[in-house]
């Protein structure tokens, strides 16, 4: 078995749709879904750092490009109960916007800035301020709503 068949994050990404790296929004979608899967319990994760469009993993990008190159994603993937649970949590948190790159960038960015889910009002203000500076396309109310949803979801 290869990393493409064993790694929980890769398996979850494969289960959520085709691994298509031809377009920027497809790559952004996969990056953010991978990050969110890890945050919601997927093991075998990848290191992420802050980048222009929020959390980004060059390691994940490399594995995805390698998998496409060797045609590793053509077969359907079977998820374990644990992996299905992570997918269910992702669907509950994101709803019908699970495939929307803009929404995924917002949720992943906010979650990246939340080192823990027990935030003080100062922590929330700091996250809103960082998002306003780094991602001005998202308004303050939108960011605060996502923080509220993530906090409620995690409790």
Domain boundaries, the chain: 3-154
| Measured CA angle at 34 (ends 30, 39), to 5 deg | 150
> E strands of the chain, at which residues?
49-51, 54-56
Which of 28, 26, 59 shows the shortest CA–CA distance to 44? 59
pLDDT score recorded for residue 115: 73
Is residue 67 within 8 Å of residue 4, measured between CB atoms? yes
Q: Give the pLDDT band of residue 138 (cuts 50, 70, 90).
A: very high
Using one digit for the tens of pLDDT, what is the confidence trace for 92-127? 999 999 999 999 999 999 999 987 767 888 999 999
Place of tokens 């469009």: 53
């Amino acid at each position: 078995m290869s990393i493409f068949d064993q790694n929980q994050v890769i398996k979850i990404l494969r289960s959520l749709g085709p691994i298509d790296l031809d377009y920027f929004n497809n790559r952004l979608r996969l990056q953010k879904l991978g990050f969110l899967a890890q945050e919601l319990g997927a093991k075998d994760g990848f290191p992420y750092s802050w980048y222009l469009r929020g959390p980004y993993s060059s390691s994940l990008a490399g594995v995805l490009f390698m998998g496409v190159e060797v045609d590793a994603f053509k077969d359907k993937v079977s998820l374990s109960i644990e992996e299905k649970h992570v997918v269910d949590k992702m669907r509950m948190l994101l709803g019908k916007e699970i495939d929307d790159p803009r929404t995924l960038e917002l949720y992943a960015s906010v979650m990246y800035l939340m080192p823990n889910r027990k935030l003080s009002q100062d922590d929330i203000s700091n996250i809103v301020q960082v998002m306003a500076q780094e991602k001005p396309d998202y308004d303050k109310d939108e960011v605060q709503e996502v923080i509220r949803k993530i906090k409620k979801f995690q409790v």
